[in-house]
Amino acid sequence: MTTLYTEQSKNISKTWLLMSMFLVVVIGIGWFFSFYYDNPDILYFFVIFSILMNVFSYWFSDKIVLRLSGAKAAKREEHFALYTTVENLSITAGLPMPKVYIIEDPAPNAFATGRDKEHAVVAVTSGLLLILDKPELEGVIAHELSHVGNRDMLLSTVVVVLVGFVSIVADVFRRNLFFGGGRGRDNDRGGNILMIVGIVFSILAPIFAMLIQLAISRKREFLADASGALLTRYPEGLANALRKISQYSKPMTHQSSAIAHLYISDPKGSRLKEAAAFGGVPPKAGKISSLFATHPPVEERITALIGK
């Protein structure tokens, strides 16, 4: 019989499988570079540099995300209800009290960041506090604390860095294909084929990397929803919060695509009203667009929570 715990286990296994595929792509690009330019040191550079980037981004992830989001530290006396909600749920979850931040933005949203549970941060927008009642706010905070408990923050940060790394090196390779040396510079058939393969690979690699990032993000959202519902014992609270958040169609005024997947909802805004205004999204188009979405559809998340 399938339970919440078996679903959590499946999601974690699938996530690490995706991460393994991601690392294979990075190593594959490094190997191709080293082969094309006949220099094995390039592969070593790829591996070492990617590790250093991951360490740096992990250690300073909270500062990077907070600066990109424009979040400010929240004062307890000004946001007492928010503070007590975070504090009570942290105790229930067995987690240290995270730092609490506020983003002055009318769009309802929230995220968690930090390198580990001892250095976690939970940030919510001012718009979220205005539209949610207590059970709904508890549902959202429980969702974010679940990201902390499930150690999603490290995974999310590593994925962001790997996507950026793959995109940068692929772009550099495309530019260098037409300058300098390399096996592809030989005027034989094999060299031309190798150059074509390199061009195709440099174009597809960033797309593939981005799809993996988005797939991981969507899996983590489902897992955090389930864990948050288990924490509050009231899945309707989070389900109702997701409904209200999805009904706000305007994007956040201060956003960055680099951290869009960290939010509980897409900071670019809900497309439900816009789709309805144009007669809905065709099924095939919807399936294709969902591949490039940072979050799973709200309807699917609500159904997973309460079955309707």
Task: At 22, list the tokens.
Answer: 């991601």
Structure tokens at 248: 């706000």
With beta carbons less than 8 A apart as the criterion, state whether 71 and 103 touch: yes
Q: Helix/strand/coil (H, E, C) string of 113-128?
A: ECCCHHHCEEEEEHHH
Question: Strand, coil or helix: what is 72?
Answer: strand
Q: What are the φ/ψ torsions at residue 296 (nearest 5 degrees)? A: -70, 160
Buried b (16+ CB within 10 A) or exposed e, 6-44: eebeebbeebeebbeebeebbeebbebbbbbbeeeebbe
How far apart (Å, rounded) are the C-alpha atoms in residues 273 and 307? 23
Helices and strands of the chain, counted as H and E runs: 12, 4
User: For tokens 């690699």, what's the residue?
Assistant: 205
Host H or E run for residue 73: strand 72-73
Residue positions counted in the chain = 308
* CA distances from residue 244 to 101, 137, 142, 203, 205 in whole angstroms, order as listed: 21, 11, 17, 39, 37
| Distance separating alpha carbons of residues 45 and 207, to the nearest angstrom | 23
Question: What distance, in Å, lies between the first and last C-alpha atoms of the chain?
Answer: 20
The catalytically annotated residue of 77, 144, 221, 274 is: 144
Residue 144 falls in the annotated catalytic set: yes
Q: Which of the residues are catalytic?
A: 144
